[in-house]
Structure 1
Amino acid sequence: MTRILLVDDQALFRAGIAMVLASQPDLEVVGEAADGDEVPALVESTRPDVVVMDVRMPRVDGVEATRRLVERHGEAAPRVLVLTTFDLDDLVADAIEAGASGFVLKESDPELLLAAIRAVADGTQVVAAGATRALFERFRGRAASTPGAEYARLTPREREILLRAAQGLSNAEIAAAEFLSEATVKTHVSRILGKLDLRDRVQLVVYAYEHGLL
């Protein structure tokens, strides 16, 4: 059972999502909030696996709420799936950089939202269709001149796999390209995330763009 916290300032919108989630045997809504300032206490009391969070809220927006969760809980923080009305909202890029695992549009079909929640809970990044390259190109403008000392800890093979993953290849595609098993690729990706102190593959892509590796 995947436990979900809903955060959106529109009560009717929250109620609609809650009804959709309640129809699924593997998903459970464990709490609701109308603003990001309520998130820390609710996460402590409800222990969600995924926080489905609006990016724009009146007091504490989804970016700051995500940042606070990651700073407070680190790797133990729940996954954050950001909801937005705008396809390439600047706040979405900020939320991804703060630690969100992806975003979907509020106008998305319920089936897509359900799939996105399950994917994020499983550790997969989710970016609204058609927005991936345009979104991550925004990080290129924030690129540092060179990677930090943490990059030097990667082996040559891990650097190759980092680039493949940052280009959006799945574990299966990386395995085929590098003549490795999927299990080996998964192990490499896990080690890369650990050495670079990244939470998931979304953060890996951000890292690659910010440091000019792509």
Structure 2
Amino acid sequence: MIRVVIADDQALVRGGFRAILLAQPDLDVVGEAGDGAEAVARVAESHPDVALVDLRMPEVDGLEATRRIVASGSRCRVLIVTTFDADRHVYDAFTAGAAGFLLKTVSPESLVAGIRAVHDGEALVSGEITRRLISRFVAAPDPSTDTRLATLTERETEVLRHLALGLANAEIAAVLHLGIGTVKTHIARILTKLAARDRVQAVVAAYESGLVRPGERGKPT
């Protein structure tokens, strides 16, 4: 079972999410919260796999809640759910350690698929959303001073580049003529070397270092 905490200041929204999730055989709601501080407490108490966190909440917002959950060392992966799709705070949540981002307008099927993807270690943000946020908020890179990618091998750098361009594991495998298992191994090593919590943070590092430029597109072959 995938254990989930739901954090939203609207009881009706929490109830709707809960009904959707509990209809799935592999999902369980183990806690609910009406604000960010309560969300942090629920995560600490119930040890969920995924926390659905609304970005805009009173008192402690979703951004600060994400920071606190990540800083606590919890294995819980934060999935930001919001009505805002072009908000500075969304980008800040990524850099704080959020594993994904969904709009509240997504279908129930997409919500469920997103939770499963985040639980499985995928970056649950569409490549287009990620690129748009990064192009808005990442400062012009200076590759001469950013040495974070120096420890990567040539192959790992190639994998990171394609990852940052929005390709899925299978697409990266096809482009580089690798097995999917090999791609996953390279990504795991990239995360370790970059001290990145997940794929989203690795993508941010790729843009901030100048490996990938805003506006570039990846096309599987």
TM-score (norm 1): 0.92
Q: Are 1:158 and 2:167 matched, yes or no?
A: no
Question: Structure 1: any 5+ residue segments left out of the alignment?
Answer: none
Match of 1:99 among 75, 97, 100: 97
The 2-side partners of 1:129 and 1:106 are apart by 18
Letter in structure 1 aligned against 2:47: R
Q: Are 1:42 and 2:49 matched, yes or no?
A: no
Partner of 2:115: 117
Aligned residues: 212
- Alpha carbons of structure 1 residues 157 and 48: separation in structure 2 relative to 1, 3 Å: same
The 1-side partners of 2:104 and 2:66 are apart by 18
Percent of residue pairs identical = 53
The 1-side partners of 2:125 and 2:62 are apart by 16
Question: Structure 2: any 5+ residue segments left out of the alignment?
Answer: 213-221
Runs of at least 4 residues off by over 3 Å: 142-150
Quote the offset at 1:140 in angstroms.
Answer: 2.7
Letter in structure 2 aligned against 1:37: A
Letter in structure 2 aligned against 1:46: S
Deviation sequence 1:109-151 (CA, Å, 0-9, x none): 1111111111111111122585232122124336455564442
Partner of 2:54: 54
Partner of 1:198: 196
Matched ranges for 1:18-37 at <5 A: 18-37=18-37
Quote the offset at 1:161 in angstroms.
Answer: 1.2
The 2-side partners of 1:148 and 1:132 are apart by 21
Matched ranges for 1:126-137 at <5 A: 126-127=124-125, 130-137=128-135
**Matched-pair contact (CA < 8 Å) for 1:85–1:106:** yes
Partner of 1:88: 86
Letter in structure 2 aligned against 1:117: I
The 2-side partners of 1:169 and 1:190 are apart by 16
- Alpha carbons of structure 1 residues 49 and 117: separation in structure 2 relative to 1, 3 Å: same
Q: CA RMSD in A?
A: 1.7
The 2-side partners of 1:210 and 1:140 are apart by 6
SS state at 2:72 partner: helix
Match of 2:168 among 170, 178, 186: 170
Partner of 2:3: 3
**Matched-pair contact (CA < 8 Å) for 1:81–1:103:** yes
The 1-side partners of 2:82 and 2:145 are apart by 31
Deviation sequence 1:33-84 (CA, Å, 0-9, x none): 00111123211210100000000111111111111111120xx431111011
Range with bigger deviation, 126-135 or 60-69 = 126-135
Partner of 2:215: none
The 1-side partners of 2:137 and 2:52 are apart by 23
SS state at 1:3 partner: strand
**Matched-pair contact (CA < 8 Å) for 2:148–2:209:** no
Letter in structure 2 aligned against 1:4: V
**Matched-pair contact (CA < 8 Å) for 1:139–1:209:** no
The 2-side partners of 1:179 and 1:109 are apart by 34
The 1-side partners of 2:128 and 2:165 are apart by 14
